[in-house]
Structure 1
Amino acid sequence: MKVVAGATHGAGKPASSQFGLINLLKAGAAQLIVLHHLAFYGPMSDHARALLPSLVDWLSNSARIAVQVFLVIGGFLAAKSLAPSGHAGYAYPLGAIWRRYAKLAPAFLAATLIASVASALAARWMSHDSISAPATLAQLGAHALLLHGVLGYPSVSAGAWYVAIDFQLYALMVLALWVGGIVEGKRPLSWLMPLAAAFGITLSLLYFNLDADWDNWAPYFFGSYGMGVMAWWASDPRRKTGFAVLLMMMALLPAVAGLALEFRSRIALAAVVASLLFLFGRVKTTSDGRAWTVINSLGKISYSVFLIHFPVCLLVNAVFTRFVQPEPEVQAFGMLVAWGFSLAAGALFHRWVEAPLGRLIQTITEQVAVRDVHIPRPLPARIGGVTLR
């Protein structure tokens, strides 16, 4: 990857630079998630399996661990935005939690409504387990609040659980930083948050992640997320090499212990991704060159692809079931069609739904914040450099 250092292109314009490895990982993981759901839910894959049974079986079962890539990257980027230096303290935790909700939920709810309509349409042409029952208002409300898993409502769309877990993990990170600032008081403790993260990783991997009953809650997934957090802190170029390696070992040793206790391929993948981010996650690349342009574009729309691919795949499955012969070659082609349409739909969803909704919510939030500034308030207290309200 080419490191950017004041690069320019065109008529003196600065070249746009992005975290190339992150976009590469997000782009690849998103494709595997789409293919996993295509193979797992069928019915096109049921017919296509006769052609490549080993591949379809792998996609149906093992490819789902690609979601670990998003969990680790989520922790990496959360540390970047919330605590780039690894120090405790966060002045306005509720504001940060709200901003994360506003980033995730509007597009997610729009995709959930689309999935509900797609299920109803697909039910006219086929009968299959992948079609959800008509969504109730209570079910949609639980999805809007990102509480569907916690409240026991079935997901309307595949992958809906991840959005709720991402929000929980981010909120947990914010609250941990806020409490850490209170604990520090006037005595800055540079080791507090790395130790807290390492403890959280250990507790997750040696206890919570071994019990599937916790899989609707953040602690089940914090092992992977926390390794991403530690990868950002350890990769800080201002740190001495020995200190950086020690921080990374604090994240990876619990993973090794957890794998020794019970091997889980998803945790092994998370450890590998965290190690890659530690080594190369901050390297930036320009968008020059066709390959990196495609990679960065796919990384940019990965959340939209993740949200919208299931209803697209469901409808393509229904069309090929109703109107096309159940020949393995034709049904395999249908899977490729569904994959391509999912990427196209993701690009359109990002441009016309996710991005506009994000700008709208940001504008509303900023306007509310500006009005709040003019409301007389008592002077806030300060503890250890952290403003409390």
Structure 2
Amino acid sequence: MGRPAPSQFGLINLLKAGAAQLIVLHHLAFYGPMSDHARALLPSLVDWFSNSARIAVQVFLVIGGFLAAKSLAPSGHAGYADPLRAIWRRYAKLAPPFLAATVIAAVASAWASRWMIHDSISAPATLAQLGAHALLLHGVLGFPSVSAGAWYVAIDFQLYALMVLALAVGGVVEGKRPLAWLMPVSVAFGATLSLLYFNLDAEWDNWAPYFFGSYGLGLMAWWASDPRRKPGYGVLMMLMVLLPAVVGLALQFRSRIALAAVVACVLFLFGRVKTAAEGRAWTLIHGLGKISYSVFLIHFPVCLLVNAAFIHFVPPEPELQAFGMLVAWGFSLGAGALFHRWVEEPLGRLMQALTPPLATAPPRLSGVSFR
């Protein structure tokens, strides 16, 4: 008998897998041109994917905060011994596969332009544009994205770096007298500013504060669900970020914020539950969750090429173009699996070998805590 499959965060993988599929389908419906023809078959469904499915990215933002709290400050205490190295390691994890996918997207756009003329095809990428992408500064510097979803990678890096720096500054503020409430209260304050001010102004959508409300909901969901805390304290911690979300929704309803709040509540209740990768269903879910970042990175150039091929070589019949959308979806998953196996994982091992291990701050104990 072989060894039992290792347990994993089943709910997180399920959410990541589902959100990744919605993002692929959103871009297929939004950018076209296959969806322009396929819409005649199911106009309501295509319109929903085009207009509403994009909010699935909130799932990744909340999960990003949840897992950042798990890795950076599992107990919610401030302090970080080597923040710059932690930020570099995050960059080394995100940027190399992202840059590889960006180059592939630039090549795919050039290839697709031979078969069709469409708004989804980007202008030829410049060296300055690729350099800005490599630094994850394309949005901040005003360069157009080469691939759909590129903004999210930059925002994820900003949010992570912001959290690392907040922990480091919090450690300095605490000094030798740990304050267990400092980070939860700081995150709640930052999330409140985001939900009630920054997220109401689209001019901030290239910066972390615009998205910190969703990220902060995830951070607090991890800390509040700590089984060592008394249940009442956990609920109090969640209310510290949920109440500003409710107030923000009352001021201006945003479906993306409503979804983020729901996902945070689900993670608070069930996010730490682990499931074994046994059975076909869970094996598939864990596998899709594992490759979700690669699917997110590579699906746009794949969809672009399939769109171009079907528009150029296949008659514009709704049934045939709808079939083309299914082909693009399937190819995106296959390409994501290959990209994960041959690009994301090897680059991850290489960057890990080139980066010294982190020296995290020692755990802090306090007589007064959110427990």
CA distance in 1, matches of 2:124, 2:14: 37
CA distance in 1, matches of 2:160, 2:244: 21
Counterpart secondary structure, 1:177: helix
CA distance in 2, matches of 1:28, 1:251: 25
CA distance in 2, matches of 1:256, 1:182: 33
CA distance in 2, matches of 1:152, 1:142: 9
CA distance in 2, matches of 1:14, 1:180: 41
Amino acid at match of 2:222: W
Amino acid at match of 1:112: T
Of 341, 351, 355 in structure 2, the residue corresponding to residue 351 of structure 1 is 341
Amino acid at match of 2:139: G
Q: What per-residue deviation string (whole Å, max 9, x for no partner) do you get for residues 36-89 of structure 1? A: 000000000000000000000000000000000000000000000000000000
1:123 CA drift (Å) = 0.0
Q: What per-residue deviation string (whole Å, max 9, x for no partner) do you get for residues 116-153 of structure 1? A: 00000000000000000000000000000000000000
Counterpart secondary structure, 2:52: helix
Is 1:226 aligned to residue 216 of structure 2? yes
Q: What per-residue deviation string (whole Å, max 9, x for no partner) do you get for residues 268-308 of structure 1? A: 00000000000000000001110000000000000000000
The equivalent residue for 1:155 is 145
1:186 CA drift (Å) = 1.6
Counterpart secondary structure, 1:58: helix
RMSD: 1.4
Q: What per-residue deviation string (whole Å, max 9, x for no partner) do you get for residues 176-203 of structure 1? A: 0000000111211110000000001100
Report the number of matched residues. Answer: 362
CA distance in 2, matches of 1:160, 1:27: 19
Counterpart secondary structure, 1:45: helix
The equivalent residue for 1:298 is 288
Of 54, 68, 73 in structure 2, the residue corresponding to residue 64 of structure 1 is 54
The TM-score with structure 1 as length reference comes to: 0.92
Amino acid at match of 1:153: F
CA distance in 1, matches of 2:175, 2:276: 42
1:15 CA drift (Å) = 2.7
Q: What per-residue deviation string (whole Å, max 9, x for no partner) do you get for residues 81-117 of structure 1? A: 0000000000100010000000000000000000000
Is 1:361 aligned to residue 351 of structure 2? yes
Query: 1:1-389 residue pairs with structure 2 within 5 A?
Result: 10-11=1-2, 13-366=3-356
1:14 CA drift (Å) = 4.1
CA distance in 2, matches of 1:17, 1:140: 39
CA distance in 2, matches of 1:158, 1:288: 34
CA distance in 2, matches of 1:189, 1:364: 35
Percent identity at matched positions?
84
Amino acid at match of 2:51: N
Q: What per-residue deviation string (whole Å, max 9, x for no partner) do you get for residues 358-377 of structure 1? A: 000001113xx69xx9xxxx
Amino acid at match of 1:40: F
Amino acid at match of 2:191: I
CA distance in 2, matches of 1:125, 1:163: 29
1:215 CA drift (Å) = 0.1
List structure 1 runs of 4+ shifted beyond 4 angstroms.
none
The equivalent residue for 1:6 is none
CA distance in 1, matches of 2:81, 2:34: 51
CA distance in 2, matches of 1:49, 1:14: 46
Amino acid at match of 1:140: L
Segments of structure 2 that go 5 or more residues without pairing to the other structure are 366-371
CA distance in 2, matches of 1:195, 1:146: 29
The TM-score with structure 2 as length reference comes to: 0.96
CA distance in 2, matches of 1:194, 1:361: 32
